[in-house]
């Protein structure tokens, strides 16, 4: 069936892989366990790799795949430093290995829609690590309401919650956020929050 997204699962435990395959396979998504992930990743179409980072070679693979492939990093211990490292090596989202199927599905759906889902502590750790002392904010690049949306995202609000509060559909809110990302010169929510934090927009009363 054309238009189906393809998802690869890489984990040392076959039982975990089977569980993810069963949880995520649908009419719109084909979930696979390819023998050669590098060849699979360049076959074309919309492709996402769910990669468990357990040993050093997994991190090396993330760095290679992250240059041109959508990757959801799965971490046994989702600490701030390890999550930030995964994001900087190219992962688009980070989830815990014990995450529920619903959490993993939300991360996958967001990535396929061009967005990311990150736990609030990870976002806060990422923002804190990138804070700069002097980052002049450009004048009038965003409206007050748009800055507020970024502040709410940084506080853990979902796109659905933002849409409901603003009176938009979730699809329309995604479009509005993507326009914000374009104006900020970034490609996703995480990068937008980092830049907004550097400009001081995420501070209370800014």
Domain of 118, CATH number, reads 3.40.50.2300
Range of the domain at 139: 134-198
Kindly provide the residue ranges of all beta strands, DSSP E only, lying in the chain, ordered along the sequence. 5-10, 29-32, 47-53, 70-75, 93-96
Residue 92 falls inside a structural domain: yes
- Clarify whether residues 10 and 109 are in a common domain: yes
Residues 77 and 10 in one domain: yes
Instruction: Give the model's pLDDT for residue 1.
Output: 42
The answer to whether 59 and 31 are in contact (CB under 8 A) is no
Give the pLDDT confidence of 16-39 residue by residue, as tens digits: 999 999 999 988 899 999 999 999
Do residue 145 and residue 64 come from a single domain?
no
Q: Helices (H), strands (E): how many in the chain? A: 10, 5
| The total number of structural domains that make up the chain | 2
How far is Cα 120 from Cα 193, in angstroms, rounded to an integer? 12
Is residue 95 within 8 Å of 107, Cβ to Cβ? yes
Q: Is the pTM of this model over 0.75?
A: no
What average pLDDT score do residues 93-102 get? 88
Chain segment 170-203, per-residue pLDDT in tens: 889 989 998 998 888 888 888 888 888 878 887 7
């Amino acid at each position: 069936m054309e238009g189906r997204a393809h998802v690869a699962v890489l984990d040392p435990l076959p039982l975990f892989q089977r569980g993810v395959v069963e949880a995520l396979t649908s009419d719109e998504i084909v979930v696979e366990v390819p023998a050669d992930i590098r060849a699979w990743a360049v076959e074309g179409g919309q492709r996402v790799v769910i990669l468990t980072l357990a040993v050093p070679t997994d991190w090396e693979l993330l760095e290679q795949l992250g240059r041109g492939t959508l990757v959801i990093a799965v971490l046994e211990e989702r600490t701030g430093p390890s999550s930030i490292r995964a994001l900087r090596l190219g992962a688009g989202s980070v989830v815990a290995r014990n995450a529920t199927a619903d959490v993993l599905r939300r991360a996958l759906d967001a990535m396929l829609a061009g967005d990311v889902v990150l736990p609030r502590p990870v976002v806060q750790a990422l923002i804190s690590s990138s804070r700069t002392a002097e980052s002049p904010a450009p004048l009038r690049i965003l409206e007050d309401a748009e800055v507020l949306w970024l502040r709410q995202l940084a506080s853990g609000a979902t796109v659905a919650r933002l849409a409901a509060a603003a009176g938009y559909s979730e699809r329309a809110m995604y479009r509005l956020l993507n326009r914000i990302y374009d104006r900020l010169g970034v490609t996703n929510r995480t990068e937008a929050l980092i830049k907004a934090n550097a400009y001081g927009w995420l501070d209370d009363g800014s």
